[in-house]
Structure 1
């Protein structure tokens, strides 16, 4: 997972190259519901916590559109999710070619074939610290995103902060079909590789992408050259072993092992992928591999960290690592009890002394 550094001051709005307006969806193919029509998703907060899932670095396309409410596109569907007072989750379809298809796509996107409660029960049995964190951070799910969309988002995230990543992803998304506007936010279906292939490196640089512009255009070109299509090639990686999928992703411009692990975990069903960045390295040296504290992170040690997580948590280690990563974010540390944080600091100090 990428290192997410919030900028202390607002960034200047990037100068955008004028683009032809995206083709709006055909109104005859859309269903539009009244804002009051919310439908229960039959999910408790322990299975899906929206604040612990959407603004924590997995995706940069969902926006907070109300108290405990988030809105985003899932393919051609524009959907809002919110928590009721009892914590249960409900959904509202703003626009969609088909309501049944929208719900099916949403459940797939939320990885609802996997029981978070059962996973966390197993993690808690093997790790008392995880069990303690789970009391306060229940419901942090791993999403199952479209691989093309996920790949291009994480190309934007390289050595970047949340504000700039979001601006870049919004720019790319604006090239797709317009889905609607909710609480001042404009939403679009993510553009196809064919549409993205029409965008030049210069246009992306003018839009503030910097050196990432060449990685995006280069990756789109490589995907376009794949036999059967780049989207189909990416989907085929779901059937490979993790290392094979990582190696395949690393053939794309700008994709290294860390970015590849993010894409594998968040879109390719590689549930034991471990994106090792400085945050995950600190977690590993504090709790799993204290003997490596003070060492410099190398590719070899990245592999060792990933192996340690899998050894500890099993074939869904990526889901456990996601919670441990979220627990380190300042926004989430604030909701942990002060005595728990103090105990953590004492343990960390003792580890450093040893």
Structure 2
């Protein structure tokens, strides 16, 4: 059933298998999208394929608004008053930006098919986590956002980036909420420029706003960009010279581009790799942290943590190369799907609810497992377990209870997770006879139950 185009919007035919806004805009790639509920009853949304949310992002000169049905992406752009130019031309520019930002020239369905043929683990989750693709973000915004990500979680990073924009970038315009909602009017701010964040007083102000040690990293990185590449603004693009220089890193090979990023304050290997993947077209790059290492250990036969608990550059490189061998040229994209599938805030994503209605949007974003339970050491962006974390294995005491059956803890967990992914509830008593195996698996993943 086709859906009527919302008033003021235009329609772009696009399936959820190619792009799922509900997943892509909430999985920790970008932190500036405003997500507004349209207050559509779930039964009506299901029966009539109605959009349930509106997504808004402030660019340099406009606010882009998106809605989505199962087979259509609806879009419109809102400009400040008295902006000159033909409406058709402006909307064509917005559509061009959408195609570039979401990289719609890349057939995601075909990539999913290739990854599923090469990887049985990916094949198990592909239907439930469809439509997750990499964004092609503005490199400067991406750089500063991921400096904020060090030892942090999605919710707090979002608050920091929002605070940064409101403090250092004048509002472009204000928009009322979608019709039929009781939200208040919201002001939309573009991302601030390098020259604005390079001012010496920025550090103290950001510390007062709760940025902690990241405040110094942000100011010094912006200052380094401005001092090295200048602040002349291109009137055609409204970009400063240092922003345009960051764009040129897209044309370097991966090691060269990474080496340039590692020169900045607050940028370690993992943060650099996030920027390479999410804004500099390095699609094969896999940002590695202890959370990704746990996925590799659990599913791909990678070795466990070192005795010290730290991730050495050698381990980082070995893990990255191993996963790239599995997934190929778009390994970073495939990694993002696996990463999203393992987030706590996506635990019910894509599963059928008790009423039989498929859950198509994730719950409120929570903590990313790597950022909420690990702290960086050595260099920003490379994480290591907290010293107070629960050990992952303990030797069984002589004469203690044995595990019933012949299944190993890992195979038992794998079987349970496989059933969880298709919404099957498994009832099996634990050691105390009180809880289900699902509960045990969840506790193990949180580190609260040791595996003997």
Sort the TM-score into its range (normalised by shorter chain).
0.7 to 0.9
RMSD value over aligned CA atoms? 2.5
Give the conservation status (yes or no) of the 8 Å contact 2:254–2:282. yes
1:13-55 CA deviation, whole Å, 9 max, x = no partner? xxxxxxxxxxxxxxxxxxxxx9721211221111110111001
User: Match of 2:127, SS?
Assistant: helix
Alignment pair present for 1:151 and 2:136: no
CA distance in 1, matches of 2:142, 2:346: 24
CA distance in 2, matches of 1:154, 1:168: 11
Alignment pair present for 1:59 and 2:14: no
- Matched with 2:417 is 341
- Matched with 1:76 is 61
After superposition, the Cα gap between the structure-2 partners of 1:75 and 1:283, relative to the gap in structure 1 and judged at 3 Å, is farther
- Higher radius of gyration, 1 or 2: 2
Provide TM-score, normalisation by structure 2: 0.65
CA distance in 2, matches of 1:239, 1:303: 23
- Matched with 2:191 is 190
CA distance in 2, matches of 1:195, 1:335: 39
Provide TM-score, normalisation by structure 1: 0.82
- Shift of residue 343 of structure 1? 4.8
- Shift of residue 68 of structure 1? 3.1
- Shift of residue 334 of structure 1? 1.7
- Matched with 2:252 is 240
- In structure 2, stretches of 5+ residues that fail to align are 38-51, 84-89, 178-183, 231-240, 353-414, 421-436, 445-449
- Matched with 1:293 is 304
Alignment pair present for 1:178 and 2:171: yes
Alignment pair present for 1:100 and 2:92: yes
- Matched with 1:268 is 280
1:208-242 CA deviation, whole Å, 9 max, x = no partner? 11111100000001100223632122111111121
After superposition, the Cα gap between the structure-2 partners of 1:274 and 1:45, relative to the gap in structure 1 and judged at 3 Å, is same
- Counting only pairs closer than 5 Å after superposition, residues 106-255 of structure 1 correspond to structure 2 as 106-174=98-166, 175-179=168-172, 180-183=174-177, 184=184, 185-198=186-199, 199-227=201-229, 229-255=241-267
- Shift of residue 340 of structure 1? 6.4
Q: Which deviates more from structure 2 when the two are superposed, residues 295-304 or residues 145-154?
A: 295-304
Alignment pair present for 1:324 and 2:331: no
User: Match of 1:226, SS?
Assistant: helix
User: Match of 2:123, SS?
Assistant: helix
- Shift of residue 99 of structure 1? 2.3
1:319-346 CA deviation, whole Å, 9 max, x = no partner? 0000000000122222365986255899
Alignment pair present for 1:308 and 2:322: yes
- Shift of residue 132 of structure 1? 2.0
- Shift of residue 281 of structure 1? 1.0
- Matched with 2:20 is 49
- Equivalenced residue count is 316
1:174-211 CA deviation, whole Å, 9 max, x = no partner? 22242333534432111221222235211111111111
- Matched with 1:283 is 295
User: Match of 1:225, SS?
Assistant: helix
- Shift of residue 254 of structure 1? 0.6
Higher helix proportion:
1
- Shift of residue 87 of structure 1? 4.4
After superposition, the Cα gap between the structure-2 partners of 1:182 and 1:128, relative to the gap in structure 1 and judged at 3 Å, is farther
Q: Which deviates more from structure 2 when the two are superposed, residues 195-204 or residues 129-138?
A: 195-204
CA distance in 2, matches of 1:157, 1:258: 11
After superposition, the Cα gap between the structure-2 partners of 1:194 and 1:126, relative to the gap in structure 1 and judged at 3 Å, is same
- In structure 1, stretches of 5+ residues that fail to align are 1-33
